[in-house]
Structure 1
Amino acid sequence: MEWISAAVVLLVLTSGSPVKAGKCPKECSCDNAKLSVACVGRNLTEIPPTIDEITVKLNLRNNNLQMILKEAFIHTPHLTHLNLQLCNIIKVKEGAFRSLDRLLSLNLANNKIDVLYQESFDGLSSLKELHLDHNRIEEIQPGAFAQLGFLNMLTLTHNQLVYIPNMAFQGLQNIKRLRLSHNSLNNLAPEAFAGLFSLRRLSLDHNELQFFPTQTMTRLPEVTHLDMSYNPMIYLGEESVSMGKLTHLHLHHMALQDLSDEAFAHAHLLSHIDLSHNQLRYLEPLSGPKELTNLSLTGNSIYCNCYLRPLREWATAGHVKLMGACAGPPHLSDEPLQAVTSLDLRCRGRGEALEEEDSKGNITSTTKPRQTVRCPSNCDCDTEAHHATCESRGHTKIPRGFPSSTQLLDLRGNHFHFIPASSFPGSAQVVSLHLEFCKVREMEGRAFQGMKGLLYLYLSDNDLTTLDPRAFAGVPMLTYLHLEGNRLTHFPGPALSLLPNLFVLHLERNAISKLEPSGLLSSVAPTLRGLYLSNNTITGIAKGALCSASIGTVHLDSNQLTEVPIDALFEAPNLEELNLSHNPVTRVGPKAFEPVSQSLKRLFMDQMETEQMSEDALLGLGPGLKSLTLRGNHLKVLPDLSSFTSLEVIDLRDNPLLCDCNVLPLRRWMKNVRLEVSAMCSHPLELRGQQVRDINIFTACPEKMSPPNKEAVREPRPAKLQKAKPSALRSPRVRTRPQKAKLDRPAKSLHQRKSATTAKNKKTGNNKN
């Protein structure tokens, strides 16, 4: 039946449609029978304008297009397949594909795209496959995929992604395959994959993930195949893999030295686990998987002695095929694991049974193989990778005795409560220290003394209420400090004053209520570039509290600010990004952002309950602003946006706009910018739900609303209104309080107005015969 439907569509396009077959562009080859056009390797700098409207498949591979402009394919609305590989594309503008609501496959591989902008793929409502591999993508903006509700496969391999933020793939409710291989991912936000309820296959191989992202993966209830190979993980702890429908798990070519026997305790449907080419010497029987049939240990240094016997017996009883070979002892070297029997697996030769060894009290022969490197008890150390971990091992004191070459030290998930001075002797080469979820309540001064090379310190999600002023003494190179998720009530200025190279500070999810001048950033953290204070209880920011010539990013969202902290902004002349979303700022006054008008590039003011913004609230920001969001407020009238000529992202949605003459400047501005702007009318009732760009109510607006450009085209006025005074047509002033009753009276008709004028003239003696 499908081929019959296709034939009907083809017949309509070729014979029933009034559109005539266009001339094939001279740079292209056309197949009229297949409705396809190929313009491959022609060094084209723009899309040929004469491509036939009825074209279904368009191949523009290997050209020099560089940028895909808004509605670039408006003349070829029937496309189902579009190939834009190797076209030196740097940017895809919002709305570039808006007319292609029939497109099924889009290939943008092998280009130079670095950012996926909001609504870049708007209009592709039928798209099934999207190829973005081999680009330079390092950022995915919120909403980039929001319009791709039918997408089945998304390929983002061989890009430069380092971090996946929360809700990055929002809108992909039908996605089945997501490929993120060959990036530089080292962190995934907890909600990075939220909403992907249909995802079956996920590829994260060839990245830089050092730990299994357990919390993130639990948001993927339907994933059956997961590839995490070629990531530098050295250990899998208990319940690391908690994915109820997972059947195939690839963990090969990593740095695994050990894994808990309960690492897969909540992955009951696992049938294939690939642990090949790691650094495992032995393995305990795995609890959890009930359907396991294949366990690959190929390429590991498995020592086939008595310690492997429990695994071999477990595999035999459960009909699990063990793949791999013994690395020792010599008489079993290269023997397939599947071929050795329990009797072969002894801790001493010549047929001596394990029970006999125990009876002789031979302790040496019945203990686990000794560590080949110096490492604290109940920890794992890898001298080649320079990693050491004691994650979630129940430690109550900081372990000591790590290899002096250790660069990454992971102690998260233990119960330390108190960290005394000089807790990390011999750790001068440690670059990254993880102490998350350790229930730390107090740190003594000089707790990290001697860690001269420390750049990253993670103290997130502990119970800290204050910081000793000398807590960070001895770590002068510290650059990234994570203190989010604690109970700090004050900005820890004194403690930060010992960190001359601090670049990024995370203080989200604390209990900080005020920012005082005593915490001057210029003196305590002169190099600080990013300050994150989201989800605190900040009610005010004193003048000078943000004083810093280097500060570039400040996040103050989800606090309790009631006004824009304009006084504090005077001290941050190089601020580029400011997030004020989710603060109860009901009114934004004039010139609210003037102190940072020359530097600000990104401004976020979503969900602030804002009812009124002065017409010149954003005065001075001008062409430098790249991103502006005002979504989800209570604005009936928007401020003047005429100076914003370089915006790349704007979000005005979910505001109850009053669509009268006051919105005319917005309408004119929307026509002059090259990005898609979504703004919807809420009043009057007859226009509710309509986009501002689509309404046509401005013919009666007064002359003073006319564009300053004389060449601007105005829509003609209706005949009735040609002689009306401008004052009679001016829209009522928008008020924050309900209008008085007299403003709700119906307007007088033209006849009533003439009668009233005649009566007035008679009374004053001005009546003319």
Structure 2
Amino acid sequence: MVDCLSKVMLHTVISCWQSVLGLALLAVFVGSSLGCPSRCECSAQTKAVVCHRKRMPTIPDGIPGETRILDLSKNKLTMINPDDFGAFPSLEELDLSGNIISYVEPGAFNALFVMHSLSLKSNRIKLIPLGVFSGLANLTRLDVSDNKIVILLDYMFQDLHNLKFLEVGDNDLVYISHRAFSGLLSLETLALERCNLTVVPSEALSHLHNLVSLHLRYLSISTLHPYSFKKLFRLRHLEIDNWPSLDHIPANTLHGLNLTTLSVTNTNLSSFPYQALKHLPYLTHLNLSYNRIRHIEGGMLMDLVRLREFHLVGAQLTAIEPYAFQGLRGLKVLNVSHNRLDTLEKGVFQSPEALEVLLIDNNPLVCDCRLMWILQKRHTILFGDSQPECNTPEGIRGRPFQEFKESLLSYYVTCTKPKIRENKTQTVTVDEGQHVLLHCSAEGTPRPTVSWVSPRRRILTARSHGRVMVHNNGTLEIKSAEIQDGGVYLCLASNTAGNDTLMTSLAVKSLGSLYANRTQHYTDPSNTTANGTASVTIGLDLKTILVSTAMGCFTFLGMVLFCFLLLFVWSRGKGKHKNNIDVEYVPRSKSNGTNVDSADIQAGPHRFNMKMM
């Protein structure tokens, strides 16, 4: 009994002392000098003072010196002066967001050596001078977004050696100095959004050697230059979002990066950036949603060997070609919802059995034999919250995949071989320079794709452009036919079930002569057959005649000019030479021997005079 009473009394004494100590701590924190500021809320346990939305024009009096967390957001503060917070050396978090601060004096946070979070968000700051952040050697998070800042000066963050997160978006930024981020040795996450930058600040970013995540949102940048993100060797996550003017990503833009996550969304890209992605072998997550990418070609993504998730939502996608994901053995999540796909064939994937999540809803899907593999896996694959539905055939329109019965698959999910309506070889004759239309329409399930093979074995498809092109309905158009366009064209209609062909012969008549169909012929007599008929004829049209005449005229004029030149040279030399020439000679002996007649020797050489005319 005595022991019980002793324990009760001991417990009571301990409780009393705890209460006394708690009151003492509260007195030290709250009531040591002026107590908790009027209209603010204070917590002795967390040493926090919250003066949120109190319409205070200045920093209130009575804030305990031991305060660690100070919230002055949504008030009427207009300026931060040096040593405004000098009495709070233990301050760790300071929130000044939502005020009307227009200027922060250098040295305003000099004494806050242990502070790790500072928010100046949603104020009216236009310029942050050098020295504002001096003394904040242990700051890890800084938010200066949603102000009126126009320029980031060189070395303005140089004292923030331990800063890890920086928010500078929602400003009027037009320029970031090349050394603005110098000194941010530990920065891991940077957000630049909703500002007036027109180019990526590549030089400034190159100082962030430990940057891991870079978020570039809502910018008016229209061009990405090669090596835009140079020296960011540790960058792993890059987000480019809402750049409405961006329509192309050059091949070397991302060169040198070791990204694992890349997101390029809500831009004006009209083609898949195959070459830009070629140097990203460590990429695991790719998001190209809400662009204007219509096709994914086969065999172009083989370098992305570690890709696990691919998102291409709302991109006007109409076709994913066979072998498009060749090499992507680890692809587990594919999201191509809200596009214009009518099918997704099994041959698209390197390892279709590895696919775990397939989001293909809100597409005009044609449920034929090409989708049979998906319907057979419908119980083991995840389709997300919205089930894909058949758009055709009519009997199963609007039916979700999960509700299909096995007995319906063999009845509705079928394919039929293409059949070209024109089943006879056609012959088309046109004049040179005319438009040519070669028709080839085919029926089948799924709808056959039509391509043409030219007489020179060139394959022409609906993506061929230029003077010769194939329309979506299968018609081959040749603009301004030329002689070399003549020959036999082969139309090939194909789908999953097979193919059908049709040949069309095209003859192009020449209109080179001035008189249509009145071509003169020259027969080479040296090239005749045994019966005397010439085997080679050379057409002489107007062009040939004109060229020949011009060559003859040039030759004649050249000869005349040469004669005039000789006459000129002769006339310049007239009168400068002698008209008479004396010639001496010794006559030969009349005998056949070697002896010369002595009379001739004595007479000496003979002479005669010749006059030059």
TM range (shorter): 0.5 to 0.7
The residue aligned with 1:732 is 447
Query: What is the letter of the counterpart of residue 663 of structure 1?
Result: L
Structure-2 change in CA distance of 1:373 and 1:702 (3 Å): closer
Query: What is the letter of the counterpart of residue 503 of structure 1?
Result: V
Q: Secondary structure in 2 aligned to 1:419?
A: coil
Q: Secondary structure in 2 aligned to 1:514?
A: coil
The residue aligned with 1:662 is 370
Q: Secondary structure in 2 aligned to 1:628?
A: strand
Q: Distance in 2 between matches of 1:252 and 1:691?
A: 59
Q: Distance in 2 between matches of 1:415 and 1:256?
A: 26
Which of 437, 450, 472 is 2:181 aligned to? 472
CA root-mean-square deviation: 3.6
The residue aligned with 1:431 is 140
Instruction: Spell out, residue by residue over 1:639-683, the C-alpha distance to the aligned partner (whole angstroms, 9 max, x if none).
Output: 435523233432110000112233223334546x45457321112
Query: What is the letter of the counterpart of residue 92 of structure 2?
Result: H
Q: Distance in 2 between matches of 1:250 and 1:731?
A: 71
The residue aligned with 2:501 is none
Q: Distance in 2 between matches of 1:459 and 1:703?
A: 60
CA contact (8 A) 2:333 2:355 kept: yes
Q: Distance in 2 between matches of 1:370 and 1:252?
A: 12
CA contact (8 A) 2:42 2:50 kept: no
How far apart are residue 388 of structure 1 and its match?
Answer: 2.3
Q: Secondary structure in 1 aligned to 2:275?
A: helix
TM-score (norm 2): 0.54
Superposed, 1:542-621 pairs within 5 Å as 542-596=250-304, 598-621=305-328
Q: Distance in 1 between matches of 2:259 and 2:390?
A: 38
How far apart are residue 685 of structure 1 and its match?
Answer: 2.8
CA contact (8 A) 1:500 1:527 kept: yes
The residue aligned with 1:513 is 222
CA contact (8 A) 1:381 1:388 kept: no
Which of 535, 539, 563 is 2:247 aligned to? 539
Structure-2 change in CA distance of 1:250 and 1:675 (3 Å): farther
Which of 35, 51, 54 is 1:259 aligned to? 51
The residue aligned with 1:18 is none
Which of 92, 115, 131 is 1:386 aligned to? 92
How far apart are residue 381 of structure 1 and its match?
Answer: 8.2
Q: Distance in 1 between matches of 2:279 and 2:124?
A: 41
Q: Distance in 1 between matches of 2:220 and 2:333?
A: 29
The residue aligned with 1:494 is 203
Q: Distance in 2 between matches of 1:442 and 1:549?
A: 27
The residue aligned with 2:343 is 637
The residue aligned with 1:461 is 170
Q: Secondary structure in 2 aligned to 1:558?
A: strand
How far apart are residue 456 of structure 1 and its match?
Answer: 1.1
Percent identical pairs in the alignment equals 24
Q: Distance in 2 between matches of 1:732 and 1:408?
A: 61
Structure-2 change in CA distance of 1:494 and 1:662 (3 Å): same
Q: Secondary structure in 1 aligned to 2:190?
A: strand
How far apart are residue 591 of structure 1 and its match?
Answer: 2.3
How far apart are residue 599 of structure 1 and its match?
Answer: 1.0
Query: What is the letter of the counterpart of residue 372 of structure 1?
Result: G
Q: Distance in 1 between matches of 2:200 and 2:90?
A: 40
Q: Secondary structure in 1 aligned to 2:241?
A: coil
How far apart are residue 462 of structure 1 and its match?
Answer: 1.4
CA contact (8 A) 1:379 1:390 kept: no
Structure-2 change in CA distance of 1:530 and 1:729 (3 Å): closer
Superposed, 1:351-370 pairs within 5 Å as 368-369=61-62
How far apart are residue 501 of structure 1 and its match?
Answer: 0.4
How far apart are residue 531 of structure 1 and its match?
Answer: 0.5
From the CA coordinates, give the structure whose radius of gyration is larger.
2
Q: Secondary structure in 2 aligned to 1:555?
A: strand
Instruction: Spell out, residue by residue over 1:431-455, the C-alpha distance to the aligned partner (whole angstroms, 9 max, x if none).
Output: 1111111221111111112111111
CA contact (8 A) 2:191 2:214 kept: yes
Q: Distance in 2 between matches of 1:498 and 1:571?
A: 22
The residue aligned with 1:107 is none
The residue aligned with 2:514 is none
Extract unaligned runs of 5+ from structure 1: 1-234, 241-248, 264-283, 285-366, 705-726, 742-769
How far apart are residue 582 of structure 1 and its match?
Answer: 0.3
Instruction: Spell out, residue by residue over 1:597-632, the C-alpha distance to the aligned partner (whole angstroms, 9 max, x if none).
Output: x1111111010011122122222223x112210100
Q: Distance in 2 between matches of 1:552 and 1:739?
A: 42
Structure-2 change in CA distance of 1:631 and 1:388 (3 Å): same
How far apart are residue 250 of structure 1 and its match?
Answer: 13
2:118 is equivalent to residue 417 of structure 1:
no
How far apart are residue 544 of structure 1 and its match?
Answer: 1.4
Q: Which has the higher contact order (CA 8 A, sep 6+)?
A: 2
CA contact (8 A) 1:566 1:595 kept: no
Structure-2 change in CA distance of 1:253 and 1:508 (3 Å): farther
Q: Distance in 1 between matches of 2:87 and 2:186?
A: 24
Q: Distance in 2 between matches of 1:634 and 1:576?
A: 25
Q: Distance in 2 between matches of 1:609 and 1:435?
A: 38
The residue aligned with 1:759 is none
Q: Distance in 2 between matches of 1:702 and 1:685?
A: 15
Which of 439, 443, 451 is 2:160 aligned to? 451
The residue aligned with 2:65 is 372
The residue aligned with 1:524 is 231
CA contact (8 A) 1:626 1:647 kept: yes
CA contact (8 A) 2:227 2:255 kept: no
Instruction: Spell out, residue by residue over 1:276-299, the C-alpha distance to the aligned partner (whole angstroms, 9 max, x if none).
Output: xxxxxxxx9xxxxxxxxxxxxxxx
Query: What is the letter of the counterpart of residue 434 of structure 1?
Result: D
Question: Greater strand percent: which structure?
Answer: 2
Instruction: Spell out, residue by residue over 1:661-720, the C-alpha distance to the aligned partner (whole angstroms, 9 max, x if none).
Output: 33223334546x45457321112233210134516253584799xxxxxxxxxxxxxxxx
Which of 328, 331, 335 is 1:625 aligned to? 331
Superposed, 1:157-236 pairs within 5 Å as none
Query: What is the letter of the counterpart of residue 340 of structure 2?
Result: H
How far apart are residue 513 of structure 1 and its match?
Answer: 1.9
Q: Distance in 1 between matches of 2:269 and 2:443?
A: 41
Q: Distance in 1 between matches of 2:122 and 2:449?
A: 56
Extract unaligned runs of 5+ from structure 2: 1-35, 71-79, 418-441, 451-461, 463-470, 476-613
Structure-2 change in CA distance of 1:252 and 1:686 (3 Å): farther
CA contact (8 A) 1:558 1:581 kept: yes
How far apart are residue 397 of structure 1 and its match?
Answer: 1.9
* More moved, 572-581 vs 378-387: 378-387
Structure-2 change in CA distance of 1:684 and 1:428 (3 Å): same
Q: Distance in 1 between matches of 2:337 and 2:160?
A: 45
Superposed, 1:680-719 pairs within 5 Å as 680-692=389-401, 694=404, 696-699=408-411, 701=414
Instruction: Spell out, residue by residue over 1:80-104, the C-alpha distance to the aligned partner (whole angstroms, 9 max, x if none).
Output: xxxxxxxxxxxxxxxxxxxxxxxxx
The residue aligned with 1:321 is none
Structure-2 change in CA distance of 1:639 and 1:256 (3 Å): farther
CA contact (8 A) 2:368 2:445 kept: no
The residue aligned with 2:458 is none
The residue aligned with 2:192 is 483
| Number of matched pairs | 368
CA contact (8 A) 1:660 1:698 kept: no
CA contact (8 A) 2:152 2:176 kept: yes
